[in-house]
Amino acid sequence: MHAICRHVWMFVEEKCRDHPCAKGHRARSELRYNSSMATLRFHIVPNAKIDKVAGEHGGAIKIKLRAPAMEAKANASLRCFLADQLNISKRAIILEHGHRSRNKVIRIDGMSEEDVRSRLLGTL
């Protein structure tokens, strides 16, 4: 895509969809809002014996991970664990807040909040 044509991705107007650089692509807004989206709070416990969902902690989903809480290893491990448990790609899991905290806010594209909670907490 041309550097000059980045406006194609910024607007959802009809005239931008017909732009030569937009052929075969959809605008970002369409990609974001076509599917359902869940935003959930998680409480992470690093350095655990096994990776597992441990229930709830003050309204957040508590997850124990084997990865240490250093150099973003726990964040990468969390994305892999959630992708595996929810049967979705890692690209659909976005860490919104809490990059350096145990309390995290994670957006999961393509699933509703009820679906995520039932898949993670339904196995307890």
For the entire predicted model, the pTM comes to 0.69
Tens of pLDDT along 92-108? 999 999 999 999 999 99
Alpha-carbon 111 to chain mean position: 10
Helices 113-121 and 73-86: crossing angle, nearest 10°? 90
Burial environment of residue 117 by CB neighbours within 10 A (0 to 12, 13 to 18, 19 or more): middle
Model pLDDT for residues 76-85, shown as the tens digit of each residue:
999 999 999 9
Q: 21 pLDDT exceeds 90?
A: no
